[in-house]
Amino acid sequence: TAQEAAAQPEPVPLPLTRAAGCPFDPPAELAELREQQPLRPMRYPDGHVGWLATGHSVVRAIAADPRFSSRYELLRYPLPGGPEGALPPATLGDLTGIDAPEHTRYRRLLAGKFTVRRMRQLTARVEQITADHLDAMERQGPALDLVQAFAHPVPALMICELLGVSPSDRAAFQAHTAMLSSPEAGPEELMAAMTALAECVRELVVAKRAHPTDDLLSDLTTSDLTDDELAGIGSFLLAAGLDTTANMLGLGTFALLRNPEQAAALRGDPGLADQAVEELMRYLSIAHTGVRAALEDVELDGQLIKAGDTVTVSVEAANRDPLKFPDPDTLDLHRKATGHLAFGHGAHQCLGQQLARVEMRVAFPALFRRFPTLRLAVPPEDVPLRDAMNIRGVHRLPVTWDTSDTW
Ligand code: HEM
């Protein structure tokens, strides 16, 4: 039976490193593990033996099953170099580390604020902000770092829009968030930026309560949330929405530059943008790994997961499962990539996904239309990758273009 230890493969550590020269493909070992057994024992860095899910259907099932908890204090960290043993519980306002019913309360309050009207308003803003940054790139001229010039500031300003940060406070906000994403920042600078940002958000909450404006944070002040909760949620939205979108824009552009026929298809057909964004999300799976803990014994895929076991879900492996996506390792913007798990699945599925989609649907086509000759300014292997981090991406993306082509 499933419980017989002899029938089980040896626990393996989580394969994590993308191969040099293959910055878009999950570690090759994941494909082998998925083929052998899509749910199998895994050894965590702290010695705990739990599980690793790599198949699309089993990853999806785990994410949708309330018998698996997201509470940080029940989880073990799956990536090497992280904290050992159980994690500290979620800070106030962090939705990803809590379960129902606490989670449900926050989730309902927040979901009600990501309205169609708000998204439409934000679409107009992202179009303007994108155009402004492309103008600035053109004025600056080649070559430049696309992360600094475009991929980071556009989503940073969109979070400011969402939270209603006033134009006069934006520079400070952006300086702190840029520091948080900077590969050169030391631990002390990171800590200082985090503290400063939390302070900015707290002041913002107080200001919005006194003088509400037309933004999500002001909307939330009319709920029964306390200032502490609002400040926590504001900081969490910043953390959840910035690095993710910025790295999708950075790594996504890198992937399009390495697949010029796909970039050309996007440039030639603006109607392709919606589909293209889903395929880039699937193909890149930047939020590559999730973690849950079994609250009770669960039988799944012929295995018995015991209460207390940690289960790591490999989103990047699931999104390359050939049983779900034929020819999964090919970037094909014409593919229907619906059903990918790159925004998560189940109760914790990304709350900001409509905003993230709007940003990407606007930004990718606009960038490639404005700079038809956009290309890497360094050999691809010299692009510094974010590896062994929660969110995959690029630290910098040096690009260049022919100035005669833009106008
Ligand atoms: C949750 C990915 C953009 C807000 C998640 C989860 C994933 C994810 C995988 C699920 C985590 C889990 O199951 O534990 C992404 C990616 C993005 C993106 C790849 C960009 C391309 C955004 C934006 C916002 C946002 C722009 C808002 C400003 C959230 C929130 C949650 C979340 C609030 C927590 C939901 C919950 O736990 O109920 N995101 N996200 N995300 N995301 Fe996003």
pLDDT in tens, the chain (407 residues): 455 545 789 999 999 988 877 899 999 999 999 999 999 999 999 899 999 999 999 999 999 999 999 999 999 999 888 788 788 999 999 999 999 999 999 999 999 999 889 999 999 999 999 999 999 999 999 999 999 999 999 999 999 999 999 988 999 998 998 888 888 888 899 999 989 999 999 999 999 999 999 999 999 999 999 999 999 999 999 989 999 999 999 999 999 999 999 999 999 998 999 999 999 999 999 999 999 999 999 999 999 999 999 999 999 999 999 999 999 999 999 999 999 999 999 999 999 999 999 999 999 999 999 999 999 999 999 999 988 778 999 999 999 999 976 55
List the beta bridge partners of residue 300. 303
Residue nearest to atom 26 of ligand 1 (CA): 241
Tell me which residue has its CA closest to atom 40 in ligand 1.
Answer: 350
Residue 324 gets the label, from left (phi > 0), alpha (psi -120 to 50) or beta, of alpha
Q: What is the C-alpha to C-alpha distance for residues 117 and 219, in angstroms, rounded to an integer?
A: 13
Q: d(Cα 393, Cα 248) in Å, to the nearest integer? A: 7
Which residue, 43, 39, 30, is CA-closest to 57?
A: 39
Nearest CA to ligand 1 atom 22: 241
Angle, alpha carbons 252-258-264 (nearest 5°): 85
The ligand 1 atom nearest the CA atom of 110: 33
- Residue 359 CA to ligand 1 center (angstroms) comes to 14
Residue 219 token pair: 């909307």
Q: Is 79 exposed, middle or buried (0-12, 13-18, 19+ CB in 10 A)?
A: middle
Q: What is the ipTM of this complex?
A: 0.99
Query: Which pLDDT score is estimated for 3?
Result: 52
In the prediction, which pLDDT does 232 show?
95
Measured from the CB, is residue 39 less than 6 Å from ligand 1? no
User: Is any ligand 1 atom within 6 A of the Cβ of residue 234?
Assistant: no
The whole-angstrom separation of Cα 140 and Cα 340 is 38
Task: Extract the tokens encoding 335.
Answer: 């593919």
For residue 406, the model assigns a pLDDT of 53
Tell which one of 350, 353, 389 to mutate to probe ligand 1, the residue whose CB is within 8 A of the most ligand atoms: 350
Using CA atoms, how far apart are residues 15 and 400, in angstroms rounded to an integer?
A: 34
Q: Is the CB of 287 under 6 A from ligand 1?
A: yes
The residues near 198 (Cβ < 8 Å, ≥ 6 apart) are: 231, 235
d(Cα 242, Cα 201) in Å, to the nearest integer? Answer: 15
Cα(89)–Cα(120) distance, rounded to whole angstroms? 35
Instruction: Measure the CA–CA gap between 282 and 307, rounded to whole angstroms.
Output: 31
Task: Kindly give the distance from the C-alpha atom of residue 351 to the centroid of ligand 1, in angstroms, as a whole number.
Answer: 6
Handedness of CA 252, 253, 255, 259 (dihedral sign): positive
- Ligand 1 centroid–CA 36 distance in Å is 30
- Cβ 361 under 6 angstroms from ligand 1: no
Residue 240's identity, in one-letter code, is A
CB neighbourhood size of 131 (10 A): 13
Q: What is the pTM of this model?
A: 0.96
